Each structure stands twice: as C-alpha cells, then as structure tokens.
A and B are shown apart, each in its own frame.
Chain A
C-alpha cells in the first residue's frame, strides 16, 4: 500500500477525462431509457399477474420467473450473441450490422426486459395492497372493472410504489455496469480502461465509485420531493 504511486491528476487529463464523461453519459442514458421501458412493460406484467383470467396470470408468472431467475449477465450474452441468430437471416444480419449502436441498443433492450420483471413484481404487490373496501365501494357506485383499474387501483398503487420503484431505478443505474460484458463502454468499463492504460487503478476505480454515488444521491434528491408531494392522505406516513 505504501509503495503506491498516487497521481490523481491523470483523471483530469485527456483522454481519461473524456472517457469518464462519455461513460457517465452512456450510463445515464441507458439507465433512464431502460427504466422508462421497464415501467411500461412492468406495469403490463404486474397487471397481467393480477388479472382474472388464469391464462393471462400464467403468462405474467412465466415472464417474471424467466427474467428474474436468469442472471442479468447471461441475459446480456443471450440477447447479444444468441438472439440475432434466432431471427430470420435478413433481420438477424440487420440487428448485427445496421442497428444503431448495436451494443448499447441491445443492452438497453436486455436491461428493460429484466427490470420489467422486477418492476412487475412491485406493481403486483402494489395492486394487491390497494384496500379491498375501496374496490367494493367503487363497484357499488357502478364503475366497471376497467374503470376501477384505471381510476382507483393504478393511481393509488403507483403513488404507494414510489419508494420501492426508486430502489428499482437505482438498481437500473447499477445494472447498466453489466453491459460492459458485451462491449458497452459505460462508467465501469471506462474505469477499467483507465486502469489498463495508466496503471492507476486506485484513482480510476475511485472516480467510477464517486460517479455512482453522485448518481444515487442526485436521483434520491430528485425523487424525495416527488415522494413527499404524492403521499396518499389517510395512509400511514401520509397527510391526514
């Protein structure tokens, strides 16, 4: 430890600084896009898991089981190496060659489907946590089942779910790091690149760690006001 040759200034020289900033940009873009897609797909999955039809519930269950139980790293490999082979050959060639930034796009797709399974579980829990009395009251006042879903269950469920969904958002940021396995140069890959080219691993990994911590704190600072503003009246921790 004593023999380590410190040199923090390498982080602020080119090309290292440019590498880190480019990595930061990719991490943020990938995480935000994936999380938005995951919210959309996850809402569908969560709704499917609470549907009345047994077949629809089964589909939701299989989706969740499949995407949550296969390690994300393996899923990245499957999407990147196996998925194009399963497509018809023209389409497969297009995916491999002409897709816009293929690694990044595929990593985003993979991450969205994986996070959708996790978000779906949260949504299911949220839907089931909506008080039964409210649904009975809505039925009694003549709303249809779809109206109840749309105007009663989902608004309450999504507002209750802001804290766990924040956790999922932070997890999305961290999971983008696995995209390095298919060649996406996000923050972690960039810090590894700096380590290999300058032999200053300590500074490089410290910089990456710092960036992840800042992302987390920044996200929390953005979400906490939203959480406070949308608290449900009459619930525990809500406005009275």
Chain B
C-alpha cells in the first residue's frame, strides 16, 4: 500500500535547489519591486489629484478581483507582444508578480497610513505652522 520512497530526494537535491534558487530570487526581486510600486500606488490613491486617485482605486480593485494564475498567463502572453520581442519566462513572471503584488502591498500600506492617529497630524501641522507663517 505504501509505495513512498523518500530516498529519491537525495539524488535530486541539486535539482530541487535549482528550483529553490528561482523561488528565492523571484521572491526577493518581486518584494523589492512591489514595495516601490505599491508605495507609488498608495501615494497616488491617498494624496494624488482626483483622476490619479480613481485610476489607483480601479487598478487595485481590479488586481484584487483576478486570480494570480490568470495574471501570470496574461503577462506571459502580453509582455512579448508589447515589447515586440520574446523575454524569458522568468522576466514575464517577475513583472506579473510585481504588478500584482503592488496592489496588495498598497492596500496594506493604506491601512497603515490611515491608522496614524489624527492628533499626530494636527500636532505636526501645529509644530510647523508658526515657522511657515512667521517665515513669510
């Protein structure tokens, strides 16, 4: 009944390690990319002019309503079409991760920004205000 053989893992460890390296690179690069893009999106969403705010809102909610696999398919197919030449699988997946995760990152950051107590903002303004006013 049990036909399991964990012995096969040893000889194939190098193979698994190759996959592990790709996973780690993808994770690190997409976290960096998504954190930067996510910050831009959340700033646009909270403090941008109205059209920009609407675009950011639409983008975030669009990304959140579509499964990741579909986004990966989209980019695998779209990126070569837009750039005009084939890019590797790695880059199309990386771009998909960055653009997709940026939406989730921006939501997390929005929650963080919006939970800063209002009083702190008021305090900051009152700290700066006299300088601004006396300054001119």
Contacts and interface: CB of A to CB of B under 8 A. Distances in A.
B92 to A, nearest CB: 13
Given A85-B2, A213-B66, 6 more contacts: A1-B82, A85-B3, A177-B70, A202-B77, A205-B77, A208-B70
User: Which are the 10 A-B pairs with shortest beta-carbon distances?
Assistant: A177-B67, A174-B67, A216-B65, A201-B77, A177-B69, A89-B1, A188-B70, A205-B74, A212-B66, A213-B65
Contacts of B82: 1
A4 B67 contact: no
Nearest to A73: B69
Contacts of A180: 69
A106 B64 CA distance: 26
A41 interface: no
A221 interface: no
A170 B65 contact: yes
Nearest to A201: B77
Interface string B1-15: 111100000000000
Interface in B14-42: none
A170 B65 CA distance: 8
Contact of B66 (A87, A175, A209): A209
Interface string B27-67: 00000000000000000000000000000000000101111
A192 B3 CA distance: 34
Interface in A205-220: 205, 208-209, 212-213, 216-217
B91 interface: no
Of listed B4, B65, B74, B77, residue having the most chain A CB within 10 A: B65
Nearest to B76: A201
Interface residues of B, number: 19
Contacts of A92: 1
B77 A209 contact: no
A178 interface: yes
A28 B75 CA distance: 25
Contact of A209 (B1, B4, B68, B70): B70
Contacts of A122: none
B73 interface: yes
A51 to B, nearest CB: 30
Contact of B73 (A89, A170, A205, A212): A205
A195 B65 contact: no
Contacts of B65: 170, 174, 212-213, 216-217
A178 B70 CA distance: 10
A180 B4 CA distance: 25
Contact of A188 (B2, B4, B67): B67
A215 to B, nearest CB: 8
B69 A178 contact: yes
A88 B81 CA distance: 51
Interface string A66-90: 0000000000000000000111110
Nearest to A187: B70
A38 B69 CA distance: 22
A191 interface: yes
B62 A213 contact: yes
B70 A205 contact: yes
